């Protein structure tokens, strides 16, 4: 079983997404409400009830908890509404939602069975359900429920900071049982990075031996500020592959010296451009200012590299090129306080933090689960950035 957790700001947007599924024109794909503690399903009535509770914590912005619990196709026959409802309540109770407003929906619009749990983090008494360590707590509950209800077991990835699978990837893995290209690349890199005393030349050599090529964002002075990975005809930027694969994190774990390793990095870049120039050209991105001369040769830039689904329309207000392309330590949109989701129904969803980091999967790389960011951590970073900006203007 896989849980995809999101913490957001708009209860009614999340509710609208689920209610729209209830009215699906195809009866076989129509969602259904399994349980709720609201007086009725009238949207205005629900909004009034939610706002009444919100007045107990008016300064809490991210008060919405929206999670999907996903099961394998093979389990569908045994997943009655009664069983799903029991699982949903045990999951919510385990996460601390014992005195909160909630709705539980079953959806039929995917190739695998899944339910959506929508809850208000503010309790009826005015307390707030913490989102600290959401991933760890959720993992423990999922493993317990798998045993209790004889569900397919998922193996934990030992806290690997890997990026979330998209909805398309998740459905593909459930349908085929095969990992996506991103998952394969994550596993290959993890195996390489387990080597002790790993140097940059050794990293590059081991990667190329495994079919992985690197494009480092290298300045004229040799400083590296980002990395993009290529495997077969797949390319992805470090920060999009996962936190542990960003250059700033990778450089902490390996034996790296800027001057000593500059030549090896430059030569690796040349080999990558020679092999994968066609992929960079396909992205059709302009060379960002500040890039060293020749960095964009063969059409390779990193503005769109890192999102295998970059051709999908992105939500308004998100500028993937807002920072220097490839500079994954310059601050990224995943850490902004904008809310968006990669769900295909993004026009109805305003429930994500933008940070969808997931950590567990079937053996070689199956499913992943959200590692949510604490409210105060996000707001603290934003306050620090605003304060720093005011200081710089002075």
Contacts of 153-158 with CB under 8 Å at 24 or more apart are 154/1, 154/2, 154/360, 154/361, 154/362, 154/366, 154/367, 155/360, 155/361, 155/362, 155/363, 156/359, 156/360, 157/359, 157/360, 157/361, 157/368
Measure the CA–CA gap between 325 and 227, rounded to whole angstroms.
10
Task: Using alpha carbons only, give the angle 284, 287, 293 rounded to the nearest 5 degrees.
Answer: 135
Residue 1 has pLDDT above 70, yes or no: yes
Task: Count other Cβ atoms within 10 Å, centred on residue 219.
Answer: 16
How large is the C-alpha radius of gyration of the chain?
22
**Phi, psi (degrees; rounded to nearest 5) at 238:** -55, -45
Q: How many helices (H) and strands (E) does the chain have?
A: 11, 12
**Phi, psi (degrees; rounded to nearest 5) at 302:** -110, 10
For domain 2-162+346-393, give the fold: BirA Bifunctional Protein; domain 2 (3.30.930)
Q: Tell the residue number behind the tokens 């933008």, with chain if given.
A: 354
Stated as kind and residue range, the H or E segment containing 307 is: none
Contact 140, 159 (CB under 8 A): no
Of 73-87, 142-156, 286-300, the range with the lowest mean pLDDT is 286-300
172-227 confidence digits (pLDDT tens): 766 776 778 888 898 899 889 888 889 999 999 999 999 999 999 999 999 999 99
Domain residues of the chain, as ranges? Answer: 2-162+346-393, 195-331
Residue 238 has pLDDT above 80, yes or no: yes
Residue 241 has pLDDT above 60, yes or no: yes
Over residues 348-360, mean pLDDT: 31
Over residues 34-45, mean pLDDT: 93
Measure the CA–CA gap between 334 and 258, rounded to whole angstroms.
27
Residue 77 has pLDDT above 80, yes or no: yes
Higher pLDDT, 333 or 302: 302
Structure letter (DSSP) for residue 335: G
Measure the CA–CA gap between 246 and 228, rounded to whole angstroms.
9
Structure letter (DSSP) for residue 95: T
In the chain the first and final C-alpha atoms are separated, in Å, by 53
Stated as kind and residue range, the H or E segment containing 31 is: none
Task: Count other Cβ atoms within 10 Å, centred on residue 311.
Answer: 10
Q: Among the ranges 70-74, 364-368, 390-394, which has the highest mean pLDDT value?
A: 70-74
Of 17-31, 32-46, 71-85, 314-328, the range with the lowest mean pLDDT is 314-328
């Amino acid at each position: 079983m896989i849980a995809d957790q999101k913490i957001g700001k708009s209860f009614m947007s999340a509710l609208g997404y689920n209610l729209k599924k209830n009215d699906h024109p195809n009866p076989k794909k129509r969602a259904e409400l399994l349980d709720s503690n609201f007086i009725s399903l009238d949207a205005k009535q629900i909004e009034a009830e939610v706002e009444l509770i919100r007045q107990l914590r008016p300064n809490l912005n991210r008060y919405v908890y929206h999670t999907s619990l996903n099961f394998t196709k093979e389990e569908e026959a045994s997943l009655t509404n009664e069983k799903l409802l029991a699982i949903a309540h045990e999951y919510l109770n385990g996460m601390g939602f014992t005195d909160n407003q909630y709705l539980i929906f079953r959806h039929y619009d995917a190739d695998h069975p899944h339910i959506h749990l929508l809850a208000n983090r503010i309790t009826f008494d005015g307390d707030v359900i913490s989102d600290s360590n959401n991933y760890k707590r959720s993992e423990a509950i999922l493993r317990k429920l798998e045993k209790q209800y004889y569900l397919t077991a998922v193996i934990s990835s030992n806290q690997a900071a890997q990026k979330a699978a998209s909805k398309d990837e998740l459905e593909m893995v459930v349908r085929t049982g095969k990992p996506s290209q991103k998952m394969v690349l994550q596993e290959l890199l993890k195996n390489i990075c387990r080597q002790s005393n790993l140097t940059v030349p050794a990293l590059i050599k081991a990667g190329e031996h495994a079919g992985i090529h690197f494009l480092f964002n290298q300045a004229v002075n040799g400083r590296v500020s980002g990395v993009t990975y290529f495997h077969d005809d797949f390319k992805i930027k470090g920060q999009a592959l996962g936190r542990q694969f960003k250059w700033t994190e990778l450089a902490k774990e390996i034996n790296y010296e800027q001057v000593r390793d500059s030549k090896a990095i430059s030569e690796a870049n040349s080999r990558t451009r020679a092999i994968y120039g066609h992929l960079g050209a396909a992205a059709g991105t302009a060379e960002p200012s500040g890039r060293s001369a020749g960095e964009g040769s063969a059409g390779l830039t990193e503005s769109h590299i890192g999102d295998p689904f970059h051709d999908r329309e992105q939500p308004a207000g998100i500028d993937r090129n807002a920072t220097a392309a490839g500079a994954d330590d310059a601050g990224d949109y995943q850490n902004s306080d904008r809310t968006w989701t990669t769900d295909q129904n993004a026009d109805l969803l305003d429930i994500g933090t933008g940070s969808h980091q997931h950590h567990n999967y079937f053996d070689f790389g199956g499913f992943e689960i959200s590692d949510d960011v604490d409210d105060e951590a996000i707001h603290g970073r934003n306050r620090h950035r605003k304060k720093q900006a005011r200081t710089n203007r002075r």
